[in-house]
A and B are shown apart, each in its own frame.
Chain A
Amino acid sequence: MIVKQRHILAAAAVVAAIACATIAAARVDGVILDRAAQVQGFTLEDHSGKPFTADSLKGHWSLILAGFTNCPDVCPFTLANLEQVVAELGLRVRPDHLPAVIFLAVDPDRDRANLKDYVVQFHPDFIGVTGAIDEIDRALKGLDAVAVRSKPDARGNYSVSHSAAVAVVDPQGRLAAKINPPFDPPPTAEFLADLFRRRVEPR
């Protein structure tokens, strides 16, 4: 009997150790703004060629990341994580509270041709958005984000550095929070569900 009890304790210890390891490995680095900041006007186009403006952000939550389609590593990695975040959120919030995922493509010359394919490979509802450089920069400013295009090398290749954070915009079109990498899906979904709940329920 004593032996059996010890066995159970050992098993419990193992389970606890695994749980701790999981918690340590999965984390979220999110910041909620003290005062949500209205995203100022910009005029871009979505990947189907329809106008996309600051007003397009109203009426639903949005997760917005800056990137470019010649980015083979970080941008697709983030989009794939956001697909999983939204799937996780589906277990936690009402369907009409699920956020739109918007990929703000900051390299329009190269992005226009393949933006739709690049974005919808992760989810058919994801939205690619791009346009004129000054309008992109205006949108970036409203999201507290930056993009810097490097000088082309001898072959004419260049890279684009861009903010790593995902901007969270509320249904009033205000920047409400930012999430920094890594975007581990379960804790990121929990962070967002908590943020959405705070805004919906009266304090």
Chain B
Amino acid sequence: MIRTRRRFLVTAGAVVGAAMSAAVELSARERVSAENAWVPWAPPTVEVHAAYMTIVNRSNEDQSLVSAESPDYQRVELHSSSVKNGVNEMRGLERVAVPANNRVTFEPGGLHLMLIGPKRPRAVGDRVRIVLRLQNGEPVEVSAIVRRRNAESPVGHDHHGAHQ
């Protein structure tokens, strides 16, 4: 019994070790990454979509997102929604700061990527490729999954979405 358990622990340790070394390798190349990225499904006639995600900065330097593009859309803009005096406003942002060792969440009703002019219809489960650009010119690759707004969160199935 004890032996079995120990072997299990050793195996688990090896898996964790492998995962950690993969993470280290990734963080050197992608110190800023996008996690749990998704695009709400919209009917084909709708010309403007949104993308939501969490941007994680694992570096010791403050970073900023300054632009975004997608081969699947004519244009991508950084946007923020807010309510002022009971009125919904949406404005474009020049940059979105992602402080060192911190994260910024793009979520409904707040920060979002505005995806303008879809080049083809998207089905639930499809992937949308987005490239975010940092202030130093480095790209951050995003693979966002298309899902319905009221569907269960893809968290848990999509942790590696940004790394595909």
CA distance A77 to B49 in the complex (A): 12
Stretch of A14-22, A35-43, A66-74 lying at the B interface: A66-74
**Contact yes or no, A117 B45, CB < 8 A:** yes
A76 touches B47 (CB 8 A): no
Q: In the complex, how many angstroms separate the beta carbon of A142 from the nearest chain B beta carbon?
A: 16
Q: Nearest Cβ in chain A — how far from B155, in angstroms? A: 17
CB <8 Å contact, A70 and B87: no
Known contacts A71-B90, A162-B87: A117-B44 contact under CB 8 Å = yes
- Distance of A8 Cα from B96 Cα, bound (Å): 47
Interface size, chain B (Cβ < 8 Å): 27
Bound complex: CA A181 to CA B81 (Å): 12
A73 touches B112 (CB 8 A): yes
Q: Is A168 in contact with chain B by the CB < 8 A criterion?
A: no
Check if A72 sits within 8 Å of B50, measured CB to CB: yes
Q: How many residues of A contact B (CB 8 A)?
A: 28
Q: How many A-B residue pairs have CB under 8 A?
A: 80
Interface residues of A in 62-103 (CB under 8 A from B): 69-74, 76-77, 80, 83-84
Q: A72-B112, A73-B112 are contacts. A163–B88 as well, Cβ < 8 Å?
A: yes
A133 adjacent to chain B (CB < 8 Å):
no
Q: Give bound CA distance, A70 to B50, whole Å.
A: 10
Q: B150 contacts A114, CB within 8 Å?
A: no
Which residue from chain A places its CB closest to the CB of B149 in the assembled complex?
A80
B117 to chain A minimum Cβ distance, whole angstroms, is 11
Name the contact of B89 in the complex, choosing from A122, A161, A181 (C-beta under 8 A): A161
* B residues near A148, Cβ cutoff 8 Å: 87
In the complex, what residues of A have CB within 8 A of residue B49's CB?
Answer: 72
Complex Cα distance A46/B25, Å? Answer: 56
Do residues B42 and A76 form an inter-chain contact, with CB atoms below 8 A?
yes
Contact between chains at B45 and A114 (CB < 8 Å): yes
Give the chain B neighbours of A146 by CB distance below 8 A: 87
- B46 contacts chain A at the CB level, 8 A cutoff: yes
A-chain residues with CB within 8 Å of residue B87 when the two chains form the complex: 146, 148, 161-164
Q: Does B115 contact A (CB under 8 A)?
A: yes
Contact (Cβ within 8 A) B86 A70: no
Which B residues touch A159, using CB under 8 A?
89-91
CB pair B47 A73 closer than 8 Å: no
The answer to whether A113 touches B45, judged by C-beta atoms less than 8 angstroms apart, is yes
- A residues less than 8 Å from B91 (CB atoms): 159
Within 8 A of A (CB), among B87-126: 87-91, 108-109, 112, 114-115
- By the criterion CB–CB under 8 Å, are B42 and A121 in contact? yes
CB A87 to nearest CB in B, in angstroms, measures 9
**A182 at interface (Cβ–Cβ under 8 A)?**
yes
Q: In the complex, what's the smallest C-beta–C-beta distance from B150 to chain A, in angstroms?
A: 5
Instruction: From the candidates B42, B50, B79, B109, name the one contacting A181 in the complex (CB within 8 A).
Output: B109
* Chain B residues near A165 (CB-CB < 8 A): 86
Distance A54 CA – B108 CA, assembled complex (angstroms): 31
Q: Please, which residues of chain B bring their CB within 8 A of the CB of A113? A: 45
Interface assignment of A52: CB less than 8 Å from any CB of chain B: no
Q: List chain B residues, Cβ under 8 A from A80.
A: 40, 149-150
A161-197 toward B: CB 8 Å interface, digit per residue (1/0)?
Answer: 1111100000000000000111000000000000000
Q: How far is the CA of A72 from the CA of B108 in the complex (A)?
A: 9
Least Cβ distance of B91 to chain A in Å?
A: 8
